[in-house]
Amino acid sequence: MKGMLPKVLVILVLLVTVPMVLIGFLLIPASQQALKESILRDRREIAIGLAERIDHMVTHPLTILDEAARLMGTLQLSPKMQQTALIGFKIGYPIFKHIHYVDKNGMELSTTDLGRELIDRSADVAYKVAIRDTGYVSPIYIVEKTPLSTFAVPVKRHGRVEGALIAEVNLFRMWALAVFSRFGETGRVYVVSRSGCVIAHSDPGRALAKQDVSDLSPVKAVLAGNIGSDEHVIAEGEKWLCAYAPVNYTRWGVVVEQTEREAYKAITKMKNQSWMLILASLIVALIVGFLATRRIVRPISRLVWGARRFARGDLDHRIEVPLKDELGQLADSFNQMADELRDKIRELERVNEELEDYIYTVSHDLKAPIISLQGFSSILKQEYESSLGKKGGHYLERIQGNIRQMDQLTQDLLELSRISRTLNPSESVEVSELIGRATAELRQQLDEKGVKLVVQPELPRIRCDRIMIGQVFFNLISNAIKFMGDTPHPRIEIGYIDRDTYNEFWVKDNGIGIEKEHHEKIFRIFHRLRDVTAEGTGIGLTVARRIIRNHGGRIWVESEKDRGASFHFTIPK
């Protein structure tokens, strides 16, 4: 759809939608960012809360074990009583699977493992750390699909380390916390050891496999002791939103994850609803604007359509705008202008016809005296040249040269007048045939100049006046030969381009070229380039342009001085 209607409609629609779109582009991102920050903050708080609970799961057993160690160090109990006390602790706190009491040399003094001999634990890491007056928590290890860790605390008597309590602690509650803390469809929680291996996960299978995730950016961050969150973490073919917090005592890490697709679902929904509202406003504005604009633009469209018909030459057409306002007055002015223009054109056509008749008559009538002058000058030269002397002979040569030039001029004028008078019927013609005939007539000039002629293969068939279009190719090729100059390798190329509704032909040379200021002037009658000596009267390009115009096409030149010239013309299909 072209014209004022869509333009005015677009303006009205833009007046409505641009503010809404601007508001959308300003407010939607701000709202998105606020929601993102809220979601990230919420996930960080979840990670911190889980890290604190897991820290308590570790420090609470250590506290209990430390109380037991103080009791063992304070009371002077027999081995039997020590074993009874340890079993009491194990029964009172089921998270302890086994408890062992060792002396300062690493030998077990008592144990809750009934029915076995006491062993030497001096090589155990737990003993070595505890005997140095430091608590110890071992890495997680799996026994019968149960996560266990070895805890150890020193046993002191009178301020001196006299042994250690070593216990295996069941951390299944940490696994249960990870499993039951998952949220949504994709939300999950996992705990990583200091080495970056999974020790608890919402999917227990990953904890059993001790999956290594140390290369993930949130894992690296949390093991460095940082609390924070990450967006766009790529894992398992998805983008994830991650929050993390460290477990203080053990320096493990808790990571909370959820796919961005699910985490930002509310943001996506809000954005879609906002744009749907803007789209609905656009549709309403389009409908209302179209109905209102059509009433305004319809009279203008009639004016435009009428003006186009005038431009195509239909001056009998009348623009009807049933209005009394400025548009109605403008329509009346157009109609009046068409009447006046039609009369002027008819007068101009009459004058042109008279002028062409005059040119034809003058050029035709001049032929007889020119022929007589040619005959008499030839007789004068043949019979009286010897008596004329050298000076008289020179004048006679000049007379004959001027007669020849006058004869060529009258011939060209006759040819120009015949273009409008001679209307040959259009027929389907092979362009290659027209070019062949023209080059055959110009073969002597081509050979004398040593011009290489290159014709594009497979030229089209066109409907045209065979004689007139052949004359156009003849004139353009002849013109290229005349203005080849002293080019060392003269060359003329002829070809075409299919332009959908018309064919564009060209004749291109590598001669002396034409300055831009002469590109239009060379098509005027008798116009010749200054400082260039060439045969002819300067009417050939005028003839070519008139022929092409009569065929509904146009002709032009593309050239620069000393860089050759390329003449183009079009023939409608």
Average pLDDT rounded to a whole number, residues 468-484:
92
Radius of gyration of the chain (CA): 53
Residue 231, both tokens:
């967006």
The dihedrals phi and psi of 499, each to the nearest 5 degrees, come to -110, 35
pLDDT, mean of residues 149-172: 94
Lowest mean pLDDT among 115-119, 140-144, 449-453, 525-529: 525-529
Give the CATH H-level superfamily of domain 427-572.
Histidine kinase-like ATPase, C-terminal domain (3.30.565.10)
Locus of tokens 């013109």: 479
What is the pLDDT, as a whole number, of residue 243? 94
pLDDT tier for residue 368 given thresholds of 50, 70 and 90: low
According to the model, what pLDDT value does residue 534 have? 54
Residue 358 pLDDT level (bands cut at 50, 70, 90) = low
Encode pLDDT of 317-347 as tens digits: 777 776 677 777 777 887 888 788 888 877 7
CA distances from 193 to 149, 344, 519 (A): 12, 100, 85
Give the chain's mean pLDDT. Answer: 84
Residue 90 in tokens? 């194990």
Angle 331-337-340 from CA coordinates, rounded to 5°: 150
Residue 480 pLDDT: 93
From 53-67, 139-153, 413-427, the region with the lowest mean pLDDT: 413-427
pLDDT at 392 over 60: yes
Question: What helix, strand, coil percent values describe the chain, rounded to 5?
Answer: 55, 20, 25
Architecture in CATH for domain 75-169: 2-Layer Sandwich (3.30)
How many whole angstroms separate alpha carbon 255 and alpha carbon 228? 10
Question: Quick one: pLDDT at residue 380?
Answer: 74
Residue 184 CB partners (closer than 8 Å, separation 6+): 258, 262, 263
Residue 197 to residue 202: CA distance in whole angstroms: 14
Does residue 99 register a pLDDT over 60?
Answer: yes
Pairing of strands 188-192, 160-170: unpaired
pLDDT in tens, 125-141: 999 999 999 999 999 99
For the domain made up of 316-422, give the CATH fold. Answer: Helix Hairpins (1.10.287)
Helix, coil or strand: residue 152: strand
pTM metric for this prediction: 0.48
Answer yes or no: same fold for 75-169 and 316-422: no
Percent of the chain with pLDDT over 90: 43
Among 291-295, 350-354, 426-430, which is the least confidently predicted range?
Answer: 350-354
pLDDT higher than 50, residue 1: no
Q: Using the structure block, give the residue that is written with the tokens 């299944």.
A: 172
> Which stretch of DSSP H or E encloses residue 213?
none
Cα–Cα dist 279/522, whole Å? 58
Residue ranges covered by each domain of the chain: 75-169, 316-422, 427-572
Q: In this predicted structure, what is the pLDDT of residue 527?
A: 65
User: To 5 degrees, how large is the angle CA 148–CA 151–CA 156?
Assistant: 160
